[in-house]
């Protein structure tokens, strides 16, 4: 993919985000995180040069490699994948801008222990399994507010900034919408606890997510495949 093709893809994405954003509200602001698992480092550099600043990786090892190989660029790295406890120290070393997939109180407490030992903090989003799908991780929607509050109380080295979800895995738009609305309702209740980010929507469903209130989307294949 050359620069002109990359520019076209980015422009088309931004246009679609703008249309969805305005359907929600003229005042609604949406941040794009480019998921670079499909991209070469050259493509990441190209997209950065075109103005994209936030990038996401779903594997700790790849995140480490990318942060090292592209350290000359002040990229805002997001970790968006499932984190195994034995990878916590690796994630801390990679030092992402944000970890979006904090999927349980148990994981939060394990991270808190390692973060405190190293005297560092990490910005995180709590992942909600809004469609209650067995194939996905994340906290149950009915327990989300209670668990979010518990993490804030017990894990001072975790700076919770909001919530994240993956839309329902179905072709039924109404069910996808319901999963996004469920997450947004929880986010709305957590604003009093400082929640600012509602990360919902990927390449196939980001417009619906934005219409439901998402202010951060994670886009991979639309940009790189």
> What tens digit of pLDDT does each residue of 151-187 get?
999 999 999 999 999 999 999 999 999 999 999 999 9
Percent of the chain with pLDDT over 90: 97
| Average of per-residue pLDDT across 45-51 | 97
Whether residue 1 is predicted with pLDDT greater than 90 in this model: the reply is no
Domain that holds residue 115: 3-224
Phi, psi of 202 (to 5 degrees): -130, -170
According to the model, what pLDDT value does residue 95 have? 96
Q: Which pLDDT does position 135 carry in this prediction?
A: 85
The whole-angstrom separation of Cα 41 and Cα 19 is 30
| CA R_g for the chain | 17
Give per-residue pLDDT as tens, 99-157. 999 999 999 999 999 999 999 999 999 999 999 998 889 999 999 999 999 999 999 99
Q: Which residues pair with 98 in a beta bridge?
A: 78
Closest C-alpha to 121, from 85, 97, 104: 97
Q: What's the pLDDT tens digit per position in 56-108? A: 999 999 999 999 999 999 999 999 999 999 999 999 999 999 999 999 999 99
With H, G, I as helix, E, B as strand and everything else as coil, classify residue 220: coil
| Number of domain units in the chain | 1
Return the pLDDT at 12.
97
Torsion angle of the four alpha carbons 192, 211, 165, 70, in this order, in degrees rounded to the nearest 10: -100
What CATH number did the domain enclosing 112 receive?
A: 3.20.20.10
Query: Residue 1 belongs to what H/E stretch?
Result: none
Whether residue 201 contacts residue 164, with contact meaning beta carbons closer than 8 Å, is answered with: no
Residue 18, token pair as written in the block: 């703008």
The pLDDT of residue 200 is above 90: yes
Is the pLDDT reported for residue 225 higher than 90? no
Q: What is the pLDDT of residue 73?
A: 97
CA–CA gap between residue 176 and residue 212 (Å, rounded): 10
Quote the crossing angle between the two packed helices 60-69 and 41-49, to the nearest 10°.
Answer: 60
32: β partners: 217
């Amino acid at each position: 993919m050359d620069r002109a093709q990359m520019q076209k893809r980015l422009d088309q994405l931004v246009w679609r985000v703008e249309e969805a954003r305005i359907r929600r509200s003229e005042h609604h602001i949406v941040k794009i995180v480019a998921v670079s698992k499909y991209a070469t480092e050259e493509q990441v550099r190209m997209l950065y040069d075109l103005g994209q600043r936030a990038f996401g990786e779903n594997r700790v090892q790849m995140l480490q490699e990318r942060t090292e190989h592209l350290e000359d660029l002040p990229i805002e790295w997001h970790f968006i994948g499932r984190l195994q406890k034995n990878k916590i120290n690796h994630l801390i070393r990679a030092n992402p801008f944000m970890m979006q997939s904090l999927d349980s109180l148990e994981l939060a407490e394990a991270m808190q222990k390692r973060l405190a030992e190293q005297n560092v903090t990490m910005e995180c989003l709590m992942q909600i399994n809004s469609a209650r799908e067995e194939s996905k991780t994340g906290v149950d929607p009915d327990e989300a507010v209670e668990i979010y509050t518990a993490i804030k109380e017990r894990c001072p080295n975790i700076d919770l900034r909001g919530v994240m979800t993956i839309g329902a895995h179905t072709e039924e738009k109404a069910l996808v919408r319901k999963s996004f609305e469920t997450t947004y309702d929880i986010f709305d209740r957590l604003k009093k606890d400082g929640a600012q980010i509602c990360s919902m929507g990927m390449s196939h469903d980001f417009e619906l997510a934005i219409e439901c209130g998402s202010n951060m989307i994670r886009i991979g294949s639309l940009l790189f495949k």
